[in-house]
A and B are shown apart, each in its own frame.
Chain A
Amino acid sequence: MPMAFDSFWVYLSASPLWWLTLTILVYLAAQKLFLKSGSAALLNPVAVSIVVLIALLELSHTSYDAYFAGAQFLHFLLGPATVALAVPLFRQMARLRAIWFPVTVSLAVGVLTGAFSAVAIGYVLGLDRTTLLSLAPKSVTTPVAMGISEVLGGIPAMTAAFVVFTGITGAVIGLRVLKAAGVTDESAVGTAMGVTAHGVGTARAFEVHPVSGAFAGLAMALAAFLTALLLPPLFEWLGWR
Chain B
Amino acid sequence: MLNGMALLLFCQLCGEALVRLSGWPLPGPVLGMLLLFLWLRYRGRSSHDLDLTADGLLKYLALLFVPAGVGVMVYFDALGGIWLKLGVTLLASAVITLVVTGWTMQWLLRRQKTEHADGV
Name A's B-contacting residues (CB within 8 A). 23-24, 26-27, 45-46, 49-50, 53-54, 57-58, 64, 67-68, 71-72, 74-75, 77-91, 93, 99, 101-103, 105-107, 109-110, 113-114, 117-118, 121-122, 125-127, 131, 135, 138-139, 141-144, 147-148, 151, 157-158, 160-162, 164-171, 173-174, 177-178, 181-185, 187-189, 191-193, 195-197, 199-200, 202-204, 206-207, 213, 217, 221, 224-225, 228
Q: Which partner residue on chain A sits nearest B108 by CB separation? A: A102
Supposing A82-B29, A90-B41 touch, asked if A158 and B106 sit within 8 A by C-beta, the answer is: no
Q: List, in ascending order, chain A residues with CB within 8 A of B40's CB.
A: 86-87, 90
Asked if A64 contacts B73 (CB within 8 A), the reply is yes
- Size of the B side of the interface (Cβ < 8 Å), in residues, is 73
| Chain B interface, >50% SS class | helix
Asked if A71 contacts B67 (CB within 8 A), the reply is yes
Asked if A167 contacts B65 (CB within 8 A), the reply is yes
Whole-angstrom CA separation of A174 from B58 in the bound complex? 19
Interchain CB contact (< 8 A) of A202 among B46, B61, B91: B61
Interchain CB contact (< 8 A) of B26 among A57, A125, A206, A224: A224
Asked if A225 contacts B30 (CB within 8 A), the reply is yes
Whole-angstrom CA separation of A197 from B91 in the bound complex? 11
Interchain CB contact (< 8 A) of B28 among A79, A142, A173: A79
Shortest Cβ distance from residue A200 to the other chain B in the assembled complex, whole angstroms: 5
Q: List, in ascending order, chain B residues with CB within 8 A of A200's CB.
A: 62, 65
Interchain CB contact (< 8 A) of A87 among B9, B28, B51: B51
Asked if B88 contacts A83 (CB within 8 A), the reply is no
Q: List, in ascending order, chain A residues with CB within 8 A of B119's CB.
A: none
Q: List, in ascending order, chain A residues with CB within 8 A of B5's CB.
A: 80
Supposing A27-B63, A99-B112 touch, asked if A75 and B68 sit within 8 A by C-beta, the answer is: yes
Q: List, in ascending order, chain B residues with CB within 8 A of A177's CB.
A: 95, 98-99
Q: A82-B29, A135-B90 are in contact. List 20 more A-B contacts (CB 8 A).
A: A58-B73, A75-B67, A83-B9, A84-B8, A87-B46, A87-B50, A87-B55, A91-B46, A103-B105, A105-B105, A106-B105, A127-B86, A160-B71, A161-B72, A181-B102, A183-B99, A185-B105, A189-B102, A193-B98, A203-B65
Q: Which partner residue on chain B sits nearest A84 by CB separation? A: B54
Chain B, 51-91, contact with A by CB distance < 8 Å: what is the 0/1 string? 10111011101111111111111110011001001111111
Q: List, in ascending order, chain A residues with CB within 8 A of B91's CB.
A: 169, 173
Whole-angstrom CA separation of A122 from B24 in the bound complex? 29
Shortest Cβ distance from residue A48 to the other chain B in the assembled complex, whole angstroms: 10
Whole-angstrom CA separation of A14 from B105 in the bound complex? 49
